[in-house]
Structure 1
C-alpha cells in the first residue's frame, strides 16, 4: 500500500503551481494532477496528469476506484475548484452588485461549482484516506464568512462559499469517526494574480496581490501545523483563523 497526493483542478494558475511545488517537496510520492482541461505542461516524473470531469460524480467515483485497484491511499487532496466569473458550461456568470442582479440559473451554477463539487470529493474520499496524518483542503474565500460580511453584494459567490464551509464543517464530524487521521481545511488564499481575480484587481493594493507561488507556499507551510483532533479549520494565507 502507498500514499498519494491529489490536486483537483490542476490546470488553473494555483493548481498548476500546487503540482509543481508538491512534486518538488514529495519527489517519492505519486501526485495525480486532475483537471477537465488537457494539460500541456511537463511536470516531474512523479506526476500523473489525468483529464477527467472533476465535477462529475461518475468520473469521481471511477477515479477513486482506480486508487483502490492500485492499493493506494490519499495523504493529501487539494481542491482548487471554484468560479467567480466567466463562462461555465455555456452560462456566463458575474458577481451580483444588487438584489436585482440575482438570477436563478447563475445561483445554481455558483452552488454546483463552489459547493457541490468539492463535497462530492469529500464523499468519495472518506474511506480512501491514509491512516497516517492526512489532509483535505478546499479553497474557499473570506467572503464566505457569514460573520465577516459587512460589504454585501456577490450573493452567489458569498453564499456558495459559505455553503462549502458548512458542508466541510459537517463532513468533519463524520470524518472524525471514519478517517480519524484526516484534517479538513477551508483555505482563503487571499487575492491571487490569476484569471479568477483579474477583473477585480484594480482596487487591490500591490502588496496584497499575491503570486500563485506565494499563496501555494503559504498553504503548504501551514499543513504541518494542523491537527486532526481540531478539525475542521477555516484559515487564511497568513495562517490566521477566519471566523465561520
Structure 2
C-alpha cells in the first residue's frame, strides 16, 4: 500500500537508528516512492550519505549532495539522544552538567536547527518535513519533573519547528514542517528505562507516524503530533 497517491521522493535523516531504519525500509517497499535517500552519521552501507549534526559543513555538504535529486515530498528526521557514554537523564537539579547539556542540545536542538536551515529549502511545494520530538518536551504536559537536558532540548526543538513553519508558509503555503512524538519504541534510546518494557517495535511506530503524516493538511504545519495523530500541547 502506498503512503501517497502519486509518485514522491523522500529523505530519511538518521536512517541508521531504529526508527530511521524502519522509516527507510517502509519507504523502500512503497511502489510509489520514486526515490528514498538515507543519511546517517555512521553506516556500513555504501548508499548512505554521511551527515554529522555537530558539523554544519557536513550538513551543508549532505544537502548539496541530494539537492539535484529533489525537491522532496517527504523529509523525515529521526535523530536524537537521551543518554550516552557516561551520562543518563538527570533526576535532580544537582545532576545538571554542562558537558551533558551541550551534548544533548547539540543532538536534539542545534543539529536539527541546522537541518531546518539546509533542508527546508529542498521541500517540494506540498512536501512535509517531520522531525522526531518527544512528548516529555511539552512544557504544559510536564508533571513528573527530571530529565532536564532532554526535556529542555526537545522543548527548544519544538519552538524551532513552530517558527520555521511560519517562514515556510510565506514561501510555500501548502508545504509543512511538523514535530512528531513516536511514543516508546524498542531502541537503544529506551532500553535502559522501565517504560522500555512496554515499548513497541520500530516498524509499528514508523507505520503509525507515516499514517499520521499522510493525513496532514496544510493548516497542520507547525503543530506537534503524537504517533496516533493526537495533537499535543506545547
Query: Aligned-pair distance for 1:181?
Result: 2.5
Cα distance per residue 1:190-227 (max 9 Å; x no partner): 11011100000x34563xx2110110000111112111
Aligned Cα RMSD in Å?
1.9
Q: Deviations over 1:104-156 (max 9, x none)?
A: 1111111111011111111112322112x211111011100000001000000
For the residues of structure 2 that align with 1:7 and 1:105, how far apart are their CA atoms? 28
Per the alignment, in what secondary structure is the counterpart of residue 178 of structure 2? strand
**Preserved CA contact (<8 Å) 1:110 1:156:** yes
Name the residue aligned to 2:101: 107
Structure 2 partner of 1:45: none
**1:196 equivalent in alignment to 2:189:** yes
1:149-170 Cα shifts (integer Å, max 9, x gaps) = 0100000000000000011101
TM-score (norm: length of structure 1): 0.87
Structure 2: where are the runs of 5+ without partners? 1-6
Q: TM-score, normalised by structure 2?
A: 0.91
Shift of the 101–174 alpha-carbon distance from structure 1 to 2, 3 Å rule, reads: same
SS in structure 2 of the partner of residue 84 of structure 1: coil
Relative to structure 1, the CA distance from residue 124 to residue 97 in structure 2 (aligned partners, 3 Å threshold; closer, same or farther) is same
Separation in 1, partners of 2:128, 2:207: 16
TM-superposed CA distance for 1:71, in Å, is 5.3
Q: Secondary structure at the match of 1:29?
A: strand
8 Å CA contact retained: 1:3, 1:73: no
Structure with a larger share of its residues in strand: 1
The number of residue pairs the alignment matches comes to 228
Runs of 4+ in 1 over 6 A off after TM superposition: none
Judged with a 3 Å threshold, the aligned counterparts in structure 2 of structure 1 residues 138 and 203 are, in CA distance, closer, same or farther, namely closer
